[in-house]
Amino acid sequence: MRNVGVKRRLIRMATTIAAVASSLLVMLPSPASGQQFGYAPHLAAKPDSVPLTVESLGMSRSRMAFGGAMLRIFNGRGAVSIRDKSVTGLQYLQFPPIDVPDYRFSLAFREAQAGTLIQDTVPDFFEHLLRTGKGPNPLGLNFTPGTPYVLLWQRAYWQPNALFRTGTFDKQLHGHWISIGISTKASVSAAHDQVYLEVKIHNREPGTLLLTVIPNQRASGLGLSIPNVKSQPAGPVTRPDAYTLASKQVRITVVSDLQERTTNGWEWKISGETTRTAHFGIIVQQTQTPAPNIYAPDIAQGMAGADQAWNARLQWAAENIPQVSSDDAAFNDFYARCILSVLEARWERENFFLNPFYAVGTWTYSVAWDTSFASELLSMLDPQGLRQTLIAYVRAGLLKSSYIPWNGKAGQYWYVQTPFAVMRILQEYLLQTGDRSILTRSVGGLSVLDQMKQAGQEMEKRFARPDGLLDFGSGSQRFLEIRTDGYQHIVAADNGLAAEYFGQIAEWCRERHDPEAAQFEKWSDRIRESMEKELWDHRKGWFVSQYPDGSRHLVWSYHLFDLLDEGVLSATQQKHLISHLKEGEFLGPYGMYSISTADSAHWDREDADFGGGGQYAGMPLRIAESLYHLGYGELAWDILARCTQWARYFPYIPQSIFTDFPGNTQVEMPLELSAANGIQAILFGVFGLRPQEDGSLEILPSYHHEMGHATMTGYRYRGHSYSVLMDSREYSVYRDGNLAARNPYGESTLFPKE
């Protein structure tokens, strides 16, 4: 099995056992100190910090390296994105099957005495000018004759549960002053398909302010979005009244706890030099559901419940994931944001075919390859959730479908990587949980193991050449979705993973005295031998891809590093591959290049994750974890430390990040489940947790001086809880709160199977 078949260092049982009880403090990044309306600067984590909260994960909008459409508020069952340059603006409603990417919302305020309409439409003018080159310059609003009066936004501060914004309007109109300060909080319900907006207005003037609050909504279409199901036309979008946007299928209604209203909006009276608060809700429904009452007095309670739900979600994670702290604030913050990224990908909706449903990111599909970068973590956090996800992948067909949408109706799009990803998930689930019953779990009339065997036999039948190498055909989208050719047909990375796949099946067959073990072992050995003979370029220290015409193509993709700890490389091959992990080839300021900068034929900057100029979030973290397993701790830390900088610029980890600078392509997902591999690199690399196939546990930390003092608490394994403390001289291991060993680095601690 992966992580077990790797050559291990000599292990000796630590003899220093002391009866000293230790109560270890839970440590995670400290919360930001809240200021009025929730706006607060980000504070660095400290070793003596308090447990993970929504406040500790807060981040100023000005720090973030992606656009407003990529910044969302999510609460398990639905999401809304932020409208930049506004104080009340929101966009993109996502409450499957209702998914409205072009939805736009804001509030406008008509002041009675001057008859002035104050809008929150600055982003509309920016977008129109940039798209068409026409219309008023947004910088001229509020003083250019004939242009609208608008709110001016000031600051924005994001937390997982909410977005806080401040704005102002200060104008003398027709001899009358209108001067208001406005603060808002937007959040999403965890119990209903609703978005909330709290609005606080401070009337700076002595006179009473009389406002009509007008909800503005628009969308080009309001249809149901159900993957791989043909739906009926939704018809045109209509506005039955000032509060409602509707089609034949979907209704979106804006409600408020303001009682007085007209046909145009709510009436709001704010006395001079006072602050008043009102709440608004965006209720998302299918049209067969009864329409809501426009008066909704319980919105504030709903917002409080949404906040509680997020804190409960973080508390649940803290109780099931080991907690980490060090003197390196970037390290701490990165760990916390990787945890957050997993929670941001966890959907809990009653209409999803799996509940919970671990999406690939903001896209509501589950993909085995992406989940394989999170399977060690999910085996700890939610083993039952991972188990049902794995079964869903097997049921969908390992050689048939790679994308499973929220409704479970998988399409026919297939990645070559899928069977190998499912194998990795299964191996890591078994290592952490010891739940071998999953191998005999019936799926489609066959056990999971028999399904894996059948997929292996089908791979051999469909793709194997006489020399054993697998030719997966053409079409770069089946491999890495890069825009140059050369990485197709007989690809070393996928062949190496196939060898590991066949070898693992052989091992499980031998355990069951299955005579087919010999055939799987033969296939595995033949691939390894042919890779050495046909694909290894001794001069370059790299594997080539081979096409049916015999041509050989050198593509310097970091995908090849997936083989580092799979047990399929010779010591020489492993050493040569690792030698390329350096500046000028794969390493850059903010992580790794997905294709070496030395590869002028295939490196590009168009697509960051596998095309060259950036990285898919999980890959450098997986590579770092593998290097830790193999004893290259200094190099592993070098890669990990480059990646920890992401937390300075992203509230949660996006799918792809450029390597030269902290940016994103803006068209790929702003969230990626594979960020979980950051947690895994830290736990199973830095802190050296090594669960074994037989249920024993080896601990072999890898210290780096930049960490200072470092602590990992609460790793639960086979009925016990483990903690590791590191300083510059040695490390200590605690089992169930009692000191079990204190050892120098390089000397492992082993807890035998009980």
Mean pLDDT per 10-residue segment, the chain (754 residues): 34 27 29 35 37 92 90 97 97 98 98 95 94 93 94 97 98 93 98 98 97 98 95 95 98 98 97 98 97 98 97 96 96 97 98 98 97 98 98 97 96 93 98 97 97 98 97 87 92 98 98 97 98 97 96 97 94 97 97 96 89 95 98 98 97 96 87 98 98 96 97 96 97 97 97 92
The predicted structure's pLDDT at residue 6: 33
Does residue 371 fall inside a structural domain? no
Contacts of 710 (CB under 8 A, 6+ apart): 324, 325, 326, 327, 328, 331, 686, 687, 703, 725, 726, 727
- Number of structural domains (the chain) is 2
From 309, 337, 370, the end of a domain falls on: 309
Quote the pLDDT of residue 35.
38
Same domain, 8 and 97: no
Q: How far apart are the first and last CA of the chain?
A: 21
Label the pairing between strands 116-119 and 149-150.
Answer: parallel
What span, in angstroms and rounded, lies between the C-alpha atoms of 240 and 246?
7
Interacting residues of 495 by C-beta distance below 8 A, sequence separation 6+: 469, 470, 527, 531, 535
Q: In the prediction, which pLDDT does 47 show?
A: 40
Tell whether 580 is covered by a domain: no
Considering the domain architecture, whether residues 249 and 120 belong to the same structural domain is answered as yes
Q: Does 177 fall in a domain?
A: yes
**Domain stop point among 288, 309, 330:** 309
pLDDT at 51: 67
Question: 734: which residues sit within 8 A by CB, 6+ positions away?
Answer: 22, 24, 722, 723, 724, 725, 740
Q: Is the same domain home to 64 and 8?
A: no
* C-alpha neighbours within 13 Å on the C-beta side of residue 533: 9
DSSP per-residue string spanning 517-582: HHHHHHHHHHHHHHIIIIIEETTTTEEPEE-TTS-EE---BGGGGGGTTTT-S-HHHHHHHHHT-S
103 lies in the same domain as 63: yes
Name the 3-class secondary structure at 427.
helix
Q: In angstroms, how far is CA 49 from the centroid of its own chain?
A: 24
Tell whether 699 is covered by a domain: yes
Q: Which domain holds residue 752?
A: 1-23+690-754
Identify whether 268 is part of a domain. Answer: yes
Same domain, 228 and 290: yes
Regarding whether 57 and 13 lie in a shared domain, the answer is no
Domain identity same for 104 and 15: no
- pTM here is 0.92
CATH code of the domain in which 260 resides? 2.70.98
Q: Is residue 573 in a domain? A: no
* 159 and 18 in a common domain: no
Q: Which H or E element spans position 633?
A: helix 633-644
Provide the pLDDT for residue 217.
Answer: 98
Cβ pair 237, 247 in contact under 8 A: yes
Token pair belonging to 114: 């001057």
Q: What is the structure's pLDDT at 664?
A: 87
Q: Are residues 239 and 109 in the same domain?
A: yes
Do 14 and 111 belong together in one domain?
A: no
Distance, C-alpha 746 to centroid of its chain = 33
Of the residues 309, 328, 343, the one at which a domain ends: 309
Evaluate whether residue 606 is within a structural domain: no
Give CA–CA dist 469/141, Å, rounded: 66
Q: Are residues 90 and 121 in the same domain?
A: yes
Three-class secondary structure assignment of 346-397: EECCCCCCCCCEECCECCCEEEHHHHCCCHHHHHHHCHHHHHHHHHHHHHHC
Q: Is residue 350 part of a domain?
A: no
Residue 162 shares a structural domain with residue 305: yes
Output the pLDDT for position 294: 98
